[in-house]
Amino acid sequence: MSTQLHDLRQEFLEYLEIERGRAVKTVENYYRYLDRFFEHSKVKSPKDITEAKVREFRLWLNRQPAPNGDTLKRKTQNYYLIAIRAFLKFLRKRGITSLSPEKIELAKVPQRDLDLITRKELDRLLASPMKEYAENETETGRLRALRDNAILQLLFSTGLRVSELVSLGSDIDLSKDEMSIRGKGDKVRVVFFSKEAKDAVKKYLDARKDMDEALFVNMGRNANFNDGLRLTSRSVERIVKHHATRAGITKKVTPHVVRHSFATDLLQNGADIRSVQALLGHANIATTQVYTHVTDKHLKEIHHKFHNKETRS
């Protein structure tokens, strides 16, 4: 790679991190994607990036083996194309001549199926911690159940990502029905508490005796008081899985599945997709539109149930 391209790539990565607020992991991925493109295409300068070079790279990517032995999925291939396109947009902003970003079209990928649970399954999941509370006679066990109840109620009430949930502090303000959360890309959005979520968090906080600054803390035998007690995302995933098993749900249930339930619940009850996009913190409306086929099924059920039925006097 030429010194010019090396320097421009470095400027681009710094721009992503500082001006666009992208996560360090995202910046590292962009570095890797661009490095692979430059290495394969042997381009020396921005003007050497042509449609032909990108097409050759796409063909090469399409034939690369994946870890499971298959070829790379189109979704994975698109990550490379998105990085190249973002780099070209950066060059254009700097007035540097290269391939137009619009010349790069992403591969069509099949619409992914959402991992969803039914409303009855969701209700059983949300009820599980307090059933465990009633069954437990130890102080730690009951406190753990109150914590788990607060976690599940807050996930469903707000649609928070698990990374956002574990970042919350114990100084959370429950005098309001809303709070601001800093999500992906360092973007701030407002999320809202249901009465059930507020009550659950209050009961949990009232029962806590530690002074840790984290809202959700580890109560297991492996809790490290020197390093703080804050739960990790992986810990919350295990908690959700535990209560899904207790609730008799055989599907894989994760915090993200509860986020899916939050979104589909809003849409099925009449919320518009732009509002749901804002509540979820999606940068792109296309990300939110994955939920519409779920609500389409719901509308189909309504149509079959109520349309063209004979009325009886």
Q: What 3 state SS string does the chain have?
A: CCHHHHHHHHHHHHHHHHCCCCCHHHHHHHHHHHHHHHHHHCCCCHHHCCHHHHHHHHHHHHCCECCCCCECCHHHHHHHHHHHHHHHHHHHHCCCCCCCHHHCCCCCCCCCCCCCCCHHHHHHHHHHHHHHHHHCCCHHHHHHHHHHHHHHHHHHHHCCCHHHHHCCECCCCCCCCEEEEECHHHCEEEEECCHHHHHHHHHHHHHCCCCCCECCECCCCCCCCCCCCECCHHHHHHHHHHHHHHCCCCCCCCHHHHHHHHHHHHHHCCCCHHHHHHHHCCCCHHHHHHHHHHHHHHHHHHHHHHCCCCCCC
Q: What is the pLDDT of residues 36-68, one digit of tens each?
A: 999 999 999 999 999 999 999 999 998 988 777
> Active site residue: 36, 241, 256, 298, which one?
256
- Measuring CA to CA, which residue among 11, 21, 30 is closest to residue 83? 30
Q: Which of 33, 80, 204, 291 is catalytic?
A: 291
Instruction: Determine which one of 161, 198, 243, 260 is catalytic.
Output: 161
259 assigned to active site = yes
* Per-residue tens of pLDDT for the chain, all 313 residues: 567 888 999 999 999 988 887 888 889 999 999 999 999 999 999 999 999 999 999 999 989 887 777 788 888 899 999 999 999 999 999 999 999 999 998 888 766 666 788 899 999 999 999 999 999 999 999 999 999 999 999 999 999 999 999 999 999 999 999 999 988 877 899 999 999 999 999 999 999 999 999 999 998 655 554 456 899 999 999 999 999 999 999 999 999 999 999 998 898 888 888 999 999 998 888 888 877 766 666 666 666 777 666 654 4
Rounded CA separation 159/309 (Å)? 37
Domains of the chain and any CATH numbers: 3-103 (1.10.150.130), 119-303 (1.10.443.10)
Active-site annotation holder among 184, 202, 241, 246: 184
Q: Is 40 a catalytic residue?
A: no
Q: Alpha-carbon distance 98 to 275, whole Å?
A: 38
pLDDT in tens, 99-125: 999 999 888 876 666 678 889 999 999
Residue 293 is a catalytic residue: no
243 is catalytic: no
Reference 263, options 100, 116, 45; nearest CA is: 116
Cα 139 to chain centroid, rounded: 34
